[in-house]
Amino acid sequence: AERVFSGVQPTGNLHLGNYLGAIKRFVALQESHDCIYCVVDLHAITVWQDPEELRRHTREVTAAFIACGIDPSAHIVFNQSQVSGHAELAWVFNCVARMGWLNRMTQFKEKAGKDRENVSVGLFAYPDLMAADILLYRATHVPVGEDQKQHLELTRDIAQKFNTDFAPSIAAYGHGEGYFPLTEPLIAGPATRVMSLRDGSKKMSKSDASDFSRINLTDDRDAIATKVRKAKTDPEPLPSEEEGLKGRPEADNLVGIFAALSDRTKADVLKDYGSAQFSAFKGALVDLAVDKLGPIGGEMQRLMADPAAIDAILIDGADRARVIADQTIREVKDIVGMVRG
């Protein structure tokens, strides 16, 4: 059976990139798949988080999921730390993955920067925990933005190495060919990598110091209008064909955002706005963004006003996730050779 898993870190400033690259696509997959969507608080603490903020951001991501249209009763929404199997399987994967594999992770290199001696061990082992998230549920498909591609390749490598390292034991327990699936990344659409509004060479990110670099899910019309109006562009009018966006990263980004928000292709958007000036295009983009994001921000605020109701959703989700996770953990312990009562 096909199962979707994905996660979002509760580190604040949820933005348009998170929405178009991930959450909007989580919503669409509910029609065709069993979905598990996780607020990954264990990942968040690989960089120090203020405890009160971590709680607030965990509820905020949950509220965003629901406000965007994820149905927590038909699917599963929970926070990672409440299902102990994530940490348990991550430990096993720490012993499967090789130092060399993790050394090649570009996200670690970016996040650690020059201060390698001073980042947490957890930040280095982060991708093993991510593989554990996915494989704990033996998920077959993982919708993410482009920046997670390398982590998903590592997840496949870990699954494959586990399957070969323990092949006889896996067979002895009757699991047939390979225990873990080789998960498929789902990275598609016109907005797999939304760029900063201030700099077309940097991705839109939660941690950018400038709030003008991103549109937050909770921004109101004024904020959206100001940010789009100030967004960096070039002096040429828009091209009529997608080909014409090459070498124009800011134009490409805004057209991609427009396309993703309106469920169209970039080529299709350019049929309407080819040879338009940016001022006109930006006006249309503000209207579109306010139309799509306004209700989400409003609904998030309404949900956030009742934290107990959000917590109840997370508790119920964790209870249902645990049923699947506990079985995997029992099977993995048997396969690896751990005696259990």
Catalytic residues: 111, 203, 206
Length, in residues, of the chain: 341
217 is a site residue for ligand TYM (CB under 6 A): no
Tell me the torsion sign for CA atoms 85, 27, 189, 230: negative
Q: Is 18 in the site for ligand TYM (CB under 6 A)?
A: yes
Give the CB-nearest residue to ligand TYM.
21
157 scored as a contact of ligand TYM (CB under 6 A):
no
**Is residue 53 a known part of a binding site?**
no
From candidates 34, 60, 133, 219, binder to ligand TYM by CB under 6 A:
133
Burial of 259 (0-12, 13-18, 19+ CB in 10 A): buried
Question: What count of other Cβ atoms lies within 10 Å of the Cβ of residue 332?
Answer: 22
Q: How far apart are CA 255 and CA 190, in angstroms?
A: 9
**Closer by beta carbon to ligand TYM, 97 or else 170:** 97
Angstrom CA distances, 124 to 6, 46, 106, stand at: 20, 9, 11
* 56 counts as binding ligand TYM under rule CB under 6 A: no
User: Which residues, 6 or more positions from 64, have their beta carbon under 8 angstroms from its beta carbon?
Assistant: 8, 14, 23, 217, 296, 300
Residue 301 CB, shortest distance to ligand TYM, in Å, is 21
| Residue 109 annotated as lining a ligand binding site | no
What amino acid is encoded at 205 in this protein? S
Closest contact distance (angstroms) between CB of 202 and ligand TYM is 9
Please name which of 211, 5, 9, 17 lies closest in space to residue 111, comparing C-alpha atoms.
9
301 is in an annotated binding site: no
Q: Any binding-site annotation on 130?
A: no
17 forms part of the interface with ligand TYM (CB under 6 A): yes
The CB-of-215 to ligand TYM minimum distance in angstroms stands at 11
Residue 203 region, left (φ>0) first, then alpha (ψ -120 to 50), else beta?
A: beta
Smallest separation, CB 34 to ligand TYM (Å)? 15
Query: Site for ligand TYM (CB under 6 A): which residue of 13, 56, 111, 147?
Result: 147
Radius of gyration of the chain (CA): 21
Give the SS3 label for residue 195.
Answer: strand
42 binds ligand TYM (CB under 6 A): no
Which residue's entry shows tokens 């699947």? Answer: 324
Per CB under 6 A, residues contacting ligand TYM are: 5-9, 17-18, 21-22, 40, 43, 130, 133-134, 142, 144-145, 147-148, 192-194, 203-204
Binding-site positions for L-tryptophan = 133
Binding-site positions for ATP = 9-11, 17-18, 145-147, 194, 203-207
Binding-site positions = 9-11, 17-18, 133, 145-147, 194, 203-207
